[in-house]
Structure 1
Amino acid sequence: MKEQTPANITFGLLAKLPKSELQLLVKEYIAYSGKVKYVYYFIFGFFAIVMTYNLVFAGRSFPIHDYKNIQNTMVGVVGIFLLIFLGVAGYVLAKLIRLKKRINSIAEKCRLNKKALRSEFHLFVKTTIGGTGIK
């Protein structure tokens, strides 16, 4: 059996789509995959904040007034950080949901299997563009 590499994979369902629809899907995927990295940056930033707190403040003795100020400041910083993270993650998730809905509507319009088209588009963008895909 011949091994499947990106060079010899055929995309039968995607070939049935109009070029303009496929180009629109690819543009939306590129916009989505460009935003996913910001979610990863926020996750890394959260761990950086926690590690900085542990290295600088944890295990040291402070007067109770200073300790309460440090604690309130860290709770505020982490709270604001998490709110921004949830906003960015929600925005990225909304882009993914919009892309999946567009794929489903195109599949209905062209009378194709939604799940198979989504799976094939996932394979197509993972092999050609890269990124996380749409699974």
Structure 2
Amino acid sequence: MDKHQQQHTNTKFLPNIKEAEIQAVFKDYEQLVKCYRWIRISGLLMIAIIGGYNFFIAGKRYTISEHNNIQNTMVFILGSIVLGLLVIAIVVLKRQGAVRKQIRGIAQKYNFPYREFKKEFNIALKSFYGGSGV
């Protein structure tokens, strides 16, 4: 018995669905969870850059032109990271919406109550891949 079948033994709706439909949702959710890793990396990178700036650059004396160059560089780097975070957030929201649509479509196809079905599917998704669910 594989891990998907073990999960289905404790569920009400999932055993009644074709394995191919479940696998499609699981693959899309797995891609969604991978996006969260990039959000964490971006946040840690921002903390490292700000910490490095405060530790190595701030508090030292520079000429006005050097100070302006450093300031412009920091604004550019952090602005780029924030822009990257916004792009990642848009991608995550689109993927999350796609997964929700798939779950809603399956619930309608099999005439399951959407909220209960979504809750059960969330339990299965979180147990296999982690993340925040849909």
TM-score by length of 1: 0.86
**Paired residue type of 2:124:** F
Q: Is the 8 A contact 2:11 2:120 kept in 1?
A: yes
Aligned to 1:12: 12
**Which stretches in structure 2 are left out of the alignment for 5+ residues?**
1-5
Aligned to 2:45: 45
Give the number of aligned pairs. Answer: 129
User: Which structure has the highest helix share of the two?
Assistant: 2
Aligned to 2:125: 125
Aligned to 1:112: 112
- CA–CA distance in 1 between the matches of 2:60 and 2:14? 61
Q: Which digits, 9 at most, give the CA deviation of each residue in 1:58-103, with x for residues without a partner?
A: 1112111211111111111111111112112221221111101110
**Paired residue type of 1:36:** Y
**Paired residue type of 1:122:** N
- CA–CA distance in 1 between the matches of 2:71 and 2:41? 24
Q: Aligned Cα RMSD in Å?
A: 1.9
* Cα pair distance change 1:7/1:90, threshold 3 Å: closer
- CA–CA distance in 2 between the matches of 1:118 and 1:8? 14
Q: Is the 8 A contact 1:108 1:114 kept in 2?
A: yes
* Cα pair distance change 1:53/1:9, threshold 3 Å: farther
Q: Is the 8 A contact 1:29 1:99 kept in 2?
A: yes
Q: Is the 8 A contact 1:123 1:133 kept in 2?
A: no
Q: Is the 8 A contact 1:14 1:121 kept in 2?
A: yes
- CA–CA distance in 2 between the matches of 1:91 and 1:60? 40
* Cα pair distance change 1:16/1:45, threshold 3 Å: same
Identical residues among aligned pairs (%): 26
Q: Which digits, 9 at most, give the CA deviation of each residue in 1:15-56, with x for residues without a partner?
A: 122222111111111222222211111111111111111111
TM-score by length of 2: 0.86
**Which stretches in structure 1 are left out of the alignment for 5+ residues?**
1-5
